[in-house]
Amino acid sequence: MAVLTDKVIFLTGGASGIGKACAEAYAKAGARVLVMDKEEVLLNQLLGRLGNEHAGVAGDVQKETDVRSAIEQTISRFGKIDVIHNNAGTAHPSKPLDQTTENEWDSLFSINLKSVYWTTRYGIEALKVTKGCILNTSSMVGTIGQENHAAYVATKGGMSALTKAMALDYAPFGIRVNAICPAGVWTPMLRQWAAQQPDPEGIERYLDHIHTLGYCPEGDVIADVAVFLVSEAARFVTGCIMPVSGGAELGYKK
């Protein structure tokens, strides 16, 4: 059963990694998807696989004009927006707080958190019409912390807290707001980082081991839960910070 039939989803950062898996899962579930991503080559490759009933916009979620244009193009193309999925993000750089430059700090917050401000500012009226929903890609590190990623952890802690505030603000309009929280997920960014470490095989074993279920997953496990959260099956779920983490936060494995 296509649980997202007739739904229109605006997805940021959807050309690779978790976003790509979500775009593919949304399309498979019957939705029409517009993906905004700054990586135009990867975006075009994705659209080639998804088909002509979907669309893409090359743009930077840090830029107000790019986000506003992408939202406008979504409404122009599809006539409405049912879901905004704020997935665009970065974990770079890997540093403690005192070694993080001001530009690095500002960049992380601009991409990971301020982008949600822009999509909400320009998309909320469309969601009021459809009584739609917002899904934010957060991270378990926003709850449990992570060494050498202070600014990134701060953005994800902020994302989870912001999700709850938005859920309260927009509930009177029938709009649900939830966050999905992975732990480790094999994305191109994570694979590149792992390959650059002194012991790549040891890193892979470590990433498997931190998940209580025993393995570091691909993006499809996140996408499957995302489909649920934006579907009518989750119609009474809002303000939820949903772990999809293989139990990594339980702390029994080191």
Among all chains, which residue has been given the structure tokens 């309009």? Answer: 173
- Measured CA to CA, the distance from residue 156 to residue 219 in angstroms comes to 18
Give which of 79, 115, 92, 108 is closest to 7, Cα–Cα: 79
Q: How many residues does the chain have?
A: 254
- Measured CA to CA, the distance from residue 228 to residue 221 in angstroms comes to 11
Judge whether 206 counts as a catalytic residue: no
Single out the catalytic residue among 117, 152, 206, 215: 152
| Residues near 157 by beta carbon (within 8 Å), at least 6 away in sequence | 142, 143
* Strands (DSSP E) found in the chain: 8-12, 32-37, 55-58, 83-86, 133-137, 176-182, 241-244
Residues that are catalytic: 152
